[in-house]
Amino acid sequence: MININKIKHLIPAFFYCSGVGERFSGDDWAIDYELDLDEEFNTEISNLQGGVSLLNDALQRNDLIAAKYALIEMRVASLSLYGFFMNIYDDVERVGWVGREGVVISKGCASFASCNGCEDVYFQVKNINNIKWLFLRLYDCSGGRRVFFSERGGVGCKADLDEKLSNDIADFQMSLNFLENSLREGDAIKVVVFLGKVRDSSLALSGFFKNIFDDIDKNAWSDAAKLPAIPEGYALPESYNYPKR
Q: What is the pLDDT of residues 215-237, one digit of tens each?
A: 888 877 776 667 888 999 999 99
Least-confidence region, from 44-48, 171-175, 217-221, 232-236: 217-221
Q: Tens of pLDDT along 51-79?
A: 999 999 999 999 999 999 999 999 999 99
Ranges of each domain in the chain:
35-98+125-226
244: CB partners within 8 A, 6+ apart: none
Q: What is the mean pLDDT of residues 27-53?
A: 91
Q: What is the DSSP track for 66-126? A: HHHHHHHHHHHHHHHHHHHHHHHHHHHHHHHHHHHTT----HHHHHTTS-TTGGGS-----
- Window from 29-33, 80-84, 119-123 with minimum mean pLDDT: 119-123
Q: How many residues does the chain have?
A: 245
